[in-house]
Amino acid sequence: MARRLLLGGFLLLLAVLPQVPGTPEFWITQLNYIGLASLVVLGLVLLTGVGGLTSFGQAAFVGIGAYASAWMTVQIGLSPWLGLVAGLAATALLAFVLGAITLRLSGHYLPLGTIAWGLSLYYLFGNMESLGKHDGIAGIAPISLFGMPMAAGRDIYYLIWIAVLLALWGTHNLLDSRPGRAIRALKSGAGMAESFGINTARYKVVIFVYAALLASVSGWLYAHMQRAVSPSPFGLNHGIEYLFMAVVGGAGSVWGALLGSALVLTLKDQIQTVMTHMLDLTGNFEMIVFGVLVVIALQYARDGLWPFLAAGWQRVTGGAGARGRAAPPEAPALPARARPVAGELVLAVDAVRKTFGGLVAVNDISFGVRAGEIVGLIGPNGAGKSTTFNLITGVLPATSGGVHFRGESILGLPARAISARGVGRTFQHVQLLPGMSVLENVALGAHLRANAGVVRGALRADRADEARLLHEAATQLRRVGLGEYLYEQAGNLALGQQRILEIARALAADPVLLLLDEPAAGLRYKEKQALAAVLSQLRTEGMSILLVEHDMDFVMRLTNHLVVMDFGTKLAEGPPAEVQANPAVLEAYLGGIDDDLDVAPAQAAAKEERA
């Protein structure tokens, strides 16, 4: 409620400011520039703050939007609106090509790549005869709406701010949608996202084009506001300044874009005024002071200033608690895949082999998992269990052998293709998006069961789809006993709960086979019992489970079949009681290779059960 009031007040202020007779013209001009910068910075929030892709070259896309429309209106005499369409088309095409090439670069090569094309485009503007070389293009017509030209600053003000507010709304919606969750996974969970069928390379290109289009709209508005364009505002220094704005404002939040643009532009102007009037200094000294202020700000607020303001506001208004919120409403179930009949061979691993240089980590291992069966893959540390797991899930390429899932060869397929066929997994080291709610983390698992894309997400035309996804996520969370934590931040959960959350996320993908990598690690006794109950229940429902686990007690009580590995080779295979009595297995474990495995209590437990 309080947030709505604040937003309403802000919108009202924006709307009436130019109408108040006393508002200085300078304020309007400054607000126009803040709006134009906000559009570019909003793109950077999505690209850099959320997606983790640093770009220094956004000013060049502003230039494409500006020059395309300037050229179309001045040289060909077309309407600025057609100029907008041409600018957006040119930007989309160029960003797609540049993105497809540069986004493959990782680490510092990506920012270097963006600097390279930022510079190239700047020099292109300055050297093309038809674009007026370094003098640029003058005499650009103003934008007209319903026959009324928006020539004055106060006229175009509304158009600029409508564009900014629409972009804020669209970006905010996008982040709160199915594609948005995938985008939020790019920065720190790309590998995990691929395991849920998310094409991360595609989403990187999508946010790159999205950010470029926002910059292009800003360029179009700028060209028709200034009525002239020249290369200098589209140079690399402006690209860096946009990045500053994003970082200072708070690159993780859409409102950070507005705050950063407003702060940087106002500060620069104020410092310049102080320098010239009070200290009698002329020249670009404001940039020096500004640079120092940015360094200090980053020292104390790494995530920018918006999170500070948001936290302060939360304290004042006492924000809604995560526990108190109602669960997502009922919604039709998501499409589900056909289940195998009990006993059908779901997974067949056939003489699979993996070598790392001279080391044979997995040495021609074969085993199978049938529908409605829990198979345990056990062995001392370094036996090759995780490597086998990674070969099945497509994370590592095999050296030789075969893996069939429901009769189809899956060896060599990428992780997301394997996941799409119905193989769900959890990770040895928990891989969640800690800043996202528990519910959203699980909804990410159901990504492939819905199809709302970026446009539907941004326009909020995805609500029916979204309701089904969230309802499914809540259902899976209740199924594993985490129904009370739907809106809690995933990072706030205890490790044991995070592991169970990973199972819920895997279940949301509607898998036929679940691969669990040490699910009981770090769990307390009670939590282990709860987990065992969940897994037994899943088995009863026909789920097939392959379990890599160190806790022998847990494995012995739960599995139908055990495969024991040691030094990459299969040591034994069979029902747990049989394997447990196998002398080779006892030797491998009791030989002191692995202290974690405590066979004796497991034997006692098995005896107890038989008695």
User: In Å, how far are 285, 404, 506 from 368, measured between CA atoms?
Assistant: 71, 9, 21
Contact 375, 559 (CB under 8 A): yes
Tell me, residue by residue from 270 to 309, as one string, x for binding to ligand ATP by CB under 6 A and - for no binding.
----------------------------------------
**Which of 2, 97, 351, 359 lies at the binding interface for ligand ATP (CB under 6 A)?**
359
Name the minimum Å distance from CB 356 to ligand ATP: 3
CA dihedral 104, 106, 109, 114 (to 10 degrees): 60
Contact 495, 522 (CB under 8 A): yes
Residue 564 in contact with ligand ATP, rule: CB under 6 A:
no
Residue 361 in contact with ligand ATP, rule: CB under 6 A:
yes
Q: Closer CB to ligand ATP, residue 390 or residue 437?
A: 390
Q: Closer CB to ligand ATP, residue 361 or residue 452?
A: 361
- The CA distance from 345 to 19, in Å, is 74
Name the minimum Å distance from CB 597 to ligand ATP: 10
Q: Closer CB to ligand ATP, residue 517 or residue 527?
A: 517
Instruction: Tokens 């999505």: give the residue.
Output: 46
Looking at 142-150, 276-284, 317-325, 353-361, which segment touches ligand ATP (CB under 6 A)? 353-361
Name the minimum Å distance from CB 47 to ligand ATP: 31
Residue 356 in contact with ligand ATP, rule: CB under 6 A:
yes
Name the minimum Å distance from CB 569 to ligand ATP: 11
Long-range CB contact pairs, 263-269, < 8 A, 24+: 263/305, 264/37, 264/290, 265/30, 265/33, 265/34, 265/37, 266/30, 266/34, 267/293, 269/30
Tell me the one-letter amino acid at 398.
A
Total residues interacting with ligand ATP, rule: CB under 6 A: 11
Q: Closer CB to ligand ATP, residue 171 or residue 386?
A: 386
CA dihedral 163, 247, 306, 210 (to 10 degrees): 30
Q: Closer CB to ligand ATP, residue 160 or residue 521?
A: 521
Q: Closer CB to ligand ATP, residue 38 or residue 388?
A: 388
Terminal-to-terminal C-alpha distance of the chain? 63
Q: Closer CB to ligand ATP, residue 140 or residue 375?
A: 375
- The CA distance from 345 to 592, in Å, is 35
User: In Å, how far are 17, 155, 226, 366 from 23, measured between CA atoms?
Assistant: 7, 14, 21, 78
Name the minimum Å distance from CB 230 to ligand ATP: 53
Name the minimum Å distance from CB 359 to ligand ATP: 6
CB-based contacts of 213, cutoff 8 Å, min separation 6:
43, 61, 88, 91, 92, 95
- The CA distance from 566 to 362, in Å, is 9
CB-based contacts of 288, cutoff 8 Å, min separation 6:
none
Residue 411: how many CB atoms within 10 A of its CB? 19
Q: Closer CB to ligand ATP, residue 274 or residue 593?
A: 593
Residues in the chain: 611
Name the minimum Å distance from CB 337 to ligand ATP: 29
Residue 48 in contact with ligand ATP, rule: CB under 6 A:
no
- Nearest 5°: phi and psi at 162? -65, -40
> Minimal CA–CA distance to 604: which of 584, 577, 578, 586?
577
Q: Closer CB to ligand ATP, residue 383 or residue 543?
A: 383
Name the minimum Å distance from CB 521 to ligand ATP: 10
Contacting ligand ATP within 197-226 (CB under 6 A): none
Tell me, residue by residue from 170 to 199, as one string, x for binding to ligand ATP by CB under 6 A and - for no binding.
------------------------------
Contacting ligand ATP within 370-409 (CB under 6 A): 379, 381-387
Name the minimum Å distance from CB 382 to ligand ATP: 4
Name the minimum Å distance from CB 548 to ligand ATP: 7
User: In Å, how far are 94, 112, 291, 308, 364 from 303, measured between CA atoms?
Assistant: 31, 23, 17, 9, 49
Q: Closer CB to ligand ATP, residue 264 or residue 361?
A: 361
Note the residues at the interface with ligand ATP (CB under 6 A). 356, 359, 361, 379, 381-387
